Amino acid sequence: MNGMNGVEIPRLWKAPEVAEATTEPLWRIYQLAREGHLPVVRLGRSMRFDPRAVSAWLAAGGTASDGGG
């Protein structure tokens, strides 16, 4: 998606999309984001996730079953 001035703006995922992509329970996605383990973009009270950041996090060893899931 292109924003103003031709800047590329990625489509951000909602937590259920991250849960589906990682096969983790939804509660665990929220927990990881709240604890600062999973990269999150906050829009007011809403949490959104850049799919590229989620992929990089997983590739760096941030696993879904980080002790709870």
Pick the closest to residue 39 from 49, 24, 29 (CA basis): 49
* Residue 6: burial class (beta carbons within 10 Å; 0-12, 13-18, 19+): exposed
pTM: 0.74
Q: What DSSP state is assigned to residue 20?
A: H
Q: How many residues does the chain have?
A: 69
Q: Could you identify the residue written with the tokens 């292109």?
A: 2
Each residue's pLDDT expressed in tens, for the chain with a length of 69 residues: 556 677 777 789 999 999 999 889 999 999 999 999 999 999 899 999 999 999 998 898 875 444 443
